[in-house]
Amino acid sequence: MKAAGIERGVAVFSGRVPVDRPLFDGIKKLGWVPGVYRMPTGNLFHVSKQRGWPSQLLLGRLHPESFYKSSRLEAWNRICGRHLLPEWLPKAKALLTDPGAQLAYFDTLVVQLASCLDPSHPSTIEENQQARLEILQKSQELGLVIGSGEGVAPTWALPGLDFFEGEMSLRTYADSKLKIPAGDYQFDNGASYKADAAVLLDETRRIPLYQLAFHDYVAGTWVWRDSNYQSLAFAHKKDLFNILYGTMPMWHVDRKIWAARKNDLVASYRAMAAVRSRIGFATMTDHGWLAPDRSVQYSDWDTGDRVIVNFCAKPFTRAGKPPVAGGGFVLERK
């Protein structure tokens, strides 16, 4: 990938893929950032299969004592941030040497939030939130780049995160009907993605509120089951949104996928790198439309740059300036 022109990247390995120090040292020599997948906190469904139980507790629709007795008692230890914080820090520190990680992605830590009813370490949802923020921040203090998400980007977590996985996908945790067979990232969602695309990729209704507020503070990607190339027919449009919003793409890559999609991935990288190298850490100062049907949009940046994206298939003509190609973009000085 490096030889093909992918100069920079973050390589995050799922928990099922074995990693070691030689592998990560080799990735670092490429100028890439090697990362690991971890879950310092656990899944709420291990406590109870009853969907939405954290909200039901908060609303008084579940009796805490009765619910606790009917739950899996041992699972409370895995959702209580205050209980987990002391044991997590040595594990985080160990990642720096074995396998030599520079980044850690904490799956769902910021979205699977609930109060803890275990009598040995009870906590309110606010106390659990604060403890989880400490897990993030203390991991950052060790020198790790930290990400979390899974489709939601709660602002309370901003002081402890460098990137949100799923920020671009405009959905709440686990509400997607998109299913990827285990490990089969070559699977193309195809026509089944049309209903999602009608909402997520509707340029006439979508606006970058999160990027206007926080682009200079936190990076963002699509959610893992809805990555840039998980639905090939819509991959280019997702790239255009990344370019307009100045956000990062997400790819699933193995040897087979790279061989099959190499040309597309290299072209995608070059387009986004040309923009992100200028505005990747900049403040978005404005966003608007240049066509009545909103098919042509711009984003302005405190670097003095303007990004123009044409979602339409036809060229967009501009007085005294070169046209913006259909399905293309322009990066220029304001």
Torsion from C-alpha of 85, 215, 8, 5, nearest 10 degrees:
150
Q: What is the mean pLDDT of residues 129-155?
A: 94
Tens digits of residue pLDDT in 120-138? 999 999 999 999 999 999 9
Residue 114 and residue 58: Cα distance in Å, rounded?
9
Report helix, strand and coil shares of the chain as percent, to nearest 5.
40, 15, 45
Please, is 299 exposed, middle or buried when counting C-beta atoms within 10 Å of its C-beta (0-12, 13-18, 19+)? buried
Mean pLDDT of the chain: 94
pLDDT at 75: 97
- 10-281 has which fold? TIM Barrel (3.20.20)
Q: Which run of H or E residues covers position 99?
A: none
Residue predicted with more confidence, 200 or 16: 200
Q: What is the mean pLDDT of residues 222-244?
A: 93
**Tokens in use for 296?**
């042509």
**Tokens in use for 228?**
């840039």
pLDDT at 42: 94
Residue 36 and residue 97: Cα distance in Å, rounded?
12
**How would you list the strands of the sheet with 33-38, edge to edge?**
10-13, 33-38, 103-106, 145-149, 163-165, 219-220
In the numeric block, the tokens 């990076």 are attached to 219
Residue 174: pLDDT over 60: no
pLDDT at 118: 97
pLDDT at 173: 65
Residue 99: pLDDT over 70: yes
pLDDT at 192: 83
Is the full-model pTM beyond 0.85?
yes
Residue 181: pLDDT over 60: no
Q: Which run of H or E residues covers position 10?
A: strand 10-13
Which alpha helices (H) appear in 7-153, and where do they start and end? 21-29, 53-58, 64-70, 81-95, 125-141
Percent of the chain predicted with pLDDT > 90: 85
Q: How confident is the model at residue 182 (pLDDT cuts 50, 70, 90)?
A: low
pLDDT at 240: 98
pLDDT at 149: 87
pLDDT at 179: 63
pLDDT at 152: 76
Residue 154 and residue 59: Cα distance in Å, rounded?
20
Q: How, if at all, do strands 296-301 and 305-310 pair?
A: antiparallel
Residue 51: pLDDT over 70: yes
